[in-house]
Homo-oligomer: A and B are copies of this chain.
Amino acid sequence: MGDKAKDHSKNATSRRSFLKQAGGAAAAVGLATSGLLSKATSADAAELPKKWDQTADVIVIGSGFAGLAAALEAKKAGANVVILEKMPVPGGNSIINGGLIAATGSPLQAKEGIKDSPELMYKDMLKAGLHMNHPELAMMVADQSLDALMWTLDYLNVDYKGRVTHLGGHSVPRSYLTDVRSGAGIVRQELKKVKEEGIPLQKRTYLEHLIVDGSNGVVGVEVLSGYAFPKAGSGKKTFIKANKAVIMANGGFSYDIPFRMIQDPRLDKTLDCTNHPGATAEGLVELLRIGATPVQPSWIQLGPWGCPQEKGMGIGYIFAISGCFPFGVMVDPKTGKRFVNELADRKVRADAIIKTGHWAVGVADQNGAKYVDGLDKMLARGTVKQFNTLDELAQAFKVDSAGLQEQVKRYNAFLAKGKDEEFGKPFRASSQPIAKPPFYGMYLWPKVHHTMGGVQINSKAQLLDLNGMVVPGIYAAGEVTGGVHGAVRLGSNATTDCLVFGRIAGANAAKEKSRG
């Protein structure tokens, strides 16, 4: 190194202060070394056990929509099945999801005269997904969406509301909503069938390792039985052999702060998460360890309808989705002005809120509020607040009151014209001016909601390795996979995805030749 450069190195030393000073932010990603991730690496590869403690034809990891559907289909095709669930209760994240499922050509669509097709649903998925979807996977979900819905109706006997819902980004109303307004409406019926079919569901059973036996692929799992979430290493080491295959239906990683920050460092602990605490990355990590191909892991969806004053999914989101976004306005409190089309896709809205740098305020009047199921509960909790005038609302939420009142006036004028000249929000036939007291307000801040990325599968739900080859003895379905939704998932498509690919995985796993 020349002399000049040596001299210069003194400057480099003095500049160290910058690195130190900014160390807080740097340390954030460093969390990755000490967070929820506590899984084995290549240096700690799982070995074939001398003796298997248990055997099944098909081992299903996870008991959400996908895992339960896989287990039922595998059983139906004649396989002996076991379901493993790490949490003390079954249902994964599905049991707390919003209970909506998208399908094309459904009985309710027919009843309401809505024309729809798999092609249209596929187009909607690709548009929202920024055309980053894996075409063959997105097509499969669109194509099989009606089958999946009919399976929940005819086989599971799920009860749905009597009308299809029109969610953002879907060209037509095509989403069924369970009567209980939650994924529990489907999961509980799946669990009932699982019980009827005599499929064992072993709770508190944590996947420690997928066991690979050379060219035989995945031949079983090493689990911790009696595991106490989230206690690393709790439970007893148990080896379970899969005569046919293992199905990974272990869900997404929205709740895994260190892992999600590797993919998107903005998503630190200041962002709440709508998922259950078990939505962590160790299953995905285990798949990657055995050579699965990562697909788009940095596309992580934020829900723009989160209320920062309640934990997790909460209930306030219903006010946002049913009342505020379609019939009210979302404003920046600093100005009282709107800043985005309240019915744009989730990514557009969430990014817009984050860009303001502070909580937004959602507003609706009595007309909007009448579409909000469970408003009383929100008011009782203080999630949503009620006021006699917009000015009172503005004072309480520290919104620029004059700005808000001008904004509402302007919005009402656009409504009268039938055209939102500011942000292009599509008005509805049932839209009315925001004018009728009482008025309702809620804070809004995005919450981490869904991980679009995951491992690569083909349309048979087979796991593909880094070489594009099928890994024998293993399938994957649902949120742990990547590619179906591309960059942005549409609301209610997660349920369809999980049921379609869960069923495919179960049916195909059962068809494998037994290695027993």
Contact = CB atoms under 8 A, between A and B. Distances in A.
B217 A43 contact: yes
Interface in A458-484: 458-459, 464-469, 471, 483
Interface in A292-328: 293-299
Nearest to A135: B25
A140 B4 CA distance: 21
Interface in A124-170: 131-136, 139-140, 143-144, 146-147, 150-151, 153-155
A131 B266 contact: yes
- For A34, A143, A466, the residue with the greatest tally of chain B CB atoms inside 10 Å of its CB is A466
- For A5, A135, A468, the residue with the greatest tally of chain B CB atoms inside 10 Å of its CB is A468
A298 B453 contact: yes
- For A143, A263, A288, A297, the residue with the greatest tally of chain B CB atoms inside 10 Å of its CB is A263
Contacts of A32: 293, 456, 464, 468
Contacts of A147: 5, 8-9, 12
B8 A146 contact: yes
A2 B288 contact: no
Nearest to A212: B42
A159 B434 CA distance: 66
Quickly give the copy total for this chain: 2
A296 B263 contact: yes
A54 B503 CA distance: 52
A426 interface: no
A263 B295 contact: yes
A154 B27 CA distance: 34
Interface size range of chain A in the complex: 35 or more
A41 B466 contact: yes
Contacts of A212: 42-43
Given A140-B19, A155-B2, A265 B466 contact: no
A289 interface: yes
Contacts of A30: 136, 458
A291 B150 contact: no
A42 B154 contact: no
A41 B470 CA distance: 11
Contacts of A151: 1, 5
Contacts of A40: 467
A115 interface: no
Contact of A297 (B22, B289, B291, B294): B294
Contacts of A299: 298
Contact of A19 (B12, B42, B139): B139
A101 to B, nearest CB: 15
A3 interface: yes
A33 B146 contact: no
A298 to B, nearest CB: 4
Given A5-B154, A154-B1, A154-B2, A266 B469 contact: no
Given A133-B265, A289-B291, A298-B298, A155 B29 contact: no
A214 interface: yes
Contacts of A257: none
A352 B262 CA distance: 29
A134 B265 contact: yes
Contacts of A467: 37-41, 285
Nearest to A131: B266
A215 interface: yes
Contacts of A133: 265
Contact of A29 (B3, B8, B135, B265): B135
Given A4-B153, A295-B262, A465-B42, A135 B28 contact: yes
Contacts of A76: 1
B105 A150 contact: no
Contacts of A266: 131-132
A154 B298 contact: no
A118 interface: yes
A15 B118 contact: yes
A135 B8 CA distance: 24
A294 to B, nearest CB: 4
A82 interface: no
A422 interface: no
- For A38, A258, A289, the residue with the greatest tally of chain B CB atoms inside 10 Å of its CB is A289
15 contacts: A5-B147, A8-B147, A11-B105, A11-B146, A18-B117, A18-B118, A30-B136, A32-B464, A33-B464, A42-B471, A132-B265, A132-B266, A263-B295, A288-B288, A298-B299
Interface of A: 1-5, 8-9, 11-12, 15-16, 18-19, 22, 25-30, 32-35, 37-43, 76, 105, 117-119, 122, 131-136, 139-140, 143-144, 146-147, 150-151, 153-155, 212, 214-215, 217, 258, 262-266, 285, 288-291, 293-299, 453, 456, 458-459, 464-469, 471, 483, 486
Closest 4 A-B residue pairs measured CB to CB?
A2-B154, A26-B136, A42-B291, A33-B468
